[in-house]
Amino acid sequence: MKFLSPVFCIFLLIASACVSRAQTPGNGDSLGALAALLQDQPPPDTSEPALTLDDVERIALARNPEIEVAARRVVIAEAHIPAAGALDDPTAMYRGWGVPLHQPWNYNDAQNMFSVSQTLPGPGKRALRTDVAESDVAESKAELEQVRLEVQVRVQKAFDDMLLANDEIQIHAQHVAIARQAIEAARIKYTVGAVPQQDVLKAQIALTQLGEHMIRFDRDANLARARLNTLLGRDPNAPLNVRGAYAVLTPLPDEQALEELALHSRPDLVEARVAAERSRKEQALAKKAYIPDVTVTGGYMLTQPTSKMRNNYMVEASMNLPWLNHRKHNAEIAEAAAKTTEQDAELAELRNAAFGQVEEALVQARAARRFALLYHDHLQPQAEATLQSSVIAYENGKTNFLDLLDSQMTVIDIDLAWVQAVADFDTRLADLELATGAPLDQLQSVKSEVKP
């Protein structure tokens, strides 16, 4: 960024001191109040160590509550895998046959049977249930990666907002220092001369704008700090210092490379592909409904004491008859097939939406880069040249104080616009990384993996 040159500071001070006498004594009081408005702001709390972008991203990925919730969902899905492919509980049974009605307590004259049964699903059903549960885990992990990506992008934006607010405050502080000197010189001159009313009012308006800037910059810094602390899982009011630089305004990748990166890396596309694969497994499982499940039973039977065979055992097998309930199973198969086509359509829709988001983010990033380069390559040099020309013209008596003041305010506005432009470029890069699902520096690795 650029700040006012020391030469211009001297000329501004001279210009302020050379203003003519005030026409009303109230002007001195007004400028005094304005000087109070532009008093130095309290210095920021530097007791906390300054954090870089890598630091805050690492803290956020470790402590962010949203990420913790998504990670718990993965643990829940993983815990379900053993239960999904497990057998149903075995069944224990006691059966008493032939208990005399006139002696309902006399089980010695009854046939007492004790048995244990176990249902065995049809071939392939347990494996498919396990596969579906593993797909749920993969889907939960993709959701976790999506949350991590979104949190990381929000952290980058909040970090850039803090950097921007800090830079704006620094620019503001340098200009306020000059303005306070000008006000003090003007107040001294008021005691011995007179000034045109319009010059005083114009100076007051320009200087009051600096006070308005500080209110906005301080608000933006506090909001960014609160957002970043929240993302880090900290108290929003906790002190937080950051340090870093904006992204270099290098050329952006082409759209095709970004789309390939999105197909390879976007967590929501990975999640949609996993969901589509899971629906196909569920469809295959539904078709296996026509394979009957078998229940096997083994037991011990104790007969009456008068029986020749007092001790007996029994073996029993049974199975369900799904063919007799074809309406139900056909409906389940049709439902699974419809879900499969719906998941495939959703995957196609998400892919199309992803390409649209990549295009929008790329357009925004290109525009932000062009704005930043416009300020850096053209507007800043032009404003500085205009300012220097105004200083020379004022020194030679060829222009007035108001023209000089306008040139100064133009430089201030362009300095602020420059840092806002580079910060906006950083923000658009974060949006582009959200649209592609990965940092842009991974483009080279993706190109090596994707065959032409």
* Domain range list for the chain: 6-449
Q: What is the pLDDT of residue 397?
A: 65
Q: What is the pLDDT of residue 250?
A: 72
Mean pLDDT of 267-280: 90
Nearest to 19 by CA among 290, 201, 145, 173: 201
Q: Residue 311's beta-bridge partner residues?
A: 302
Band of pLDDT at residue 90, cut at 50, 70 and 90: very high
Q: What is the pLDDT of residue 79?
A: 92
Tens-digit pLDDT profile for residues 260-270:
888 888 898 98
**pLDDT of 392 above 50:** yes
Mean pLDDT of 101-127: 85
Q: What tokens does 185 get?
A: 């010189």
Tens-digit pLDDT profile for residues 139-163:
999 999 999 999 999 999 899 888 8
Q: What tokens does 400 get?
A: 């007035």
Pairing of strands 50-51, 111-120: unpaired
**pLDDT of 451 above 60:** no
CATH architecture of the region 6-449: Up-down Bundle (1.20)
**CA separation for the pair 401, 406 (Å, rounded):** 9
Residues in the chain: 452
Q: Are 214 and 174 in contact (CB under 8 A)?
A: no
**CA separation for the pair 304, 312 (Å, rounded):** 11
**pLDDT of 236 above 70:** yes
